[in-house]
Amino acid sequence: MSFRPVSTRSKLKYIQHLAFRIELQGVSGDERARNISSPDHQGWRASDTSLHCPTEEPSMPIPAITTDRQISALKPLSAVFEVAVRDCRGLYVRVFPTGTRNFELRYTSVGGARRRLGLGAWPELTLAQARIRAGEKRIAVLDGSDPAAERNQARLEARTGETFDQLAESYWAAAKRGLHGGRRRPKRASTIETERRWWDNHIKPKLGDRLYRDLKRRDIRLFMKELTDTTELAPASLASVGAIVQAILQYAVLEEKIESNPALGQARPLALTSRDRMFSDTALKVIWEAIESAIEAKPMGPLTGDAFNAISPTTGLALQFLLLTLTRRSEVAGAQWDEFDLQAGTWTIPAARAKALHIHVVPLTARMIEVLRQARQRHPTGSAVFPATRGEGGSMEPRILTRAVARICERYSLPPGSPHDFRRSGATTLIGRYHVNRMLAGLLLGHTIKEGAAATSVYDRYSYLPEKHRALEIWGDHLVGLDAAEQKAPLALAFFGNSTPPSA
Residues 214 and 201 in one domain: yes
Sign of CA dihedral 399, 405, 411, 417: negative
Residues 307 and 408 in one domain: yes
d(CA 426, CA 323): 8
Residues 215 and 90 in one domain: no
166 domain residue, yes or no: yes
271 domain residue, yes or no: no
Please, what's the largest Cα pairwise distance for the chain? 130
Residues 314 and 428 in one domain: yes
Q: Dump the DSSP string for 417-463.
A: --THHHHHHHHHHHHHTT---HHHHHHHTTPPP-SS-TTHHHH----
Whether this prediction's pTM lies above 0.85 is answered by no
What's the total number of domains in the chain?
Answer: 3
Residues 227 and 118 in one domain: no
d(CA 279, CA 475): 14
Residues 394 and 485 in one domain: yes
Looking at the DSSP assignment, which residues form a beta bridge with residue 102? 94, 121
328 CB neighbour count, 10 Å cutoff:
23
pLDDT of residue 415: 85
268 domain residue, yes or no: no
Query: Residue 420 is part of a domain; what is its CATH number?
Result: 1.10.443.10
Residues 362 and 330 in one domain: yes
Q: Dump the DSSP string for 133-152.
A: HHHHHHHHHHTT--HHHHHH
Residues 148 and 168 in one domain: no
In order along the chain (504 residues), what is the average pLDDT of each group of 10 residues? 51 54 48 44 38 42 86 90 91 92 92 90 92 92 88 68 86 85 72 91 92 90 89 81 92 86 78 66 92 80 50 93 94 94 93 78 95 94 87 79 90 87 92 90 81 46 85 93 49 41 35
Residues 12 and 88 in one domain: yes
d(CA 447, CA 459): 17
460 domain residue, yes or no: yes
157 CB neighbour count, 10 Å cutoff:
14
Residue type, 347: W
Euclidean distance between the first and the last CA atom of the chain, given in angstroms as a whole number: 126
Helix (H) or strand (E) holding 118: strand 114-122
Asked if the bond preceding 363 is cis, omega within 30° of 0, the reply is no
d(CA 484, CA 287): 18
Residues 178 and 192 in one domain: yes
Q: Output DSSP code: residue 480.
A: H
Residues 144 and 169 in one domain: no
410 domain residue, yes or no: yes
Residues 147 and 193 in one domain: no
Q: Which of 254, 272, 306 represents a domain boundary (last residue)?
A: 254
pLDDT of residue 150: 85
Q: Which domain does 124 fall in, by range?
A: 8-157
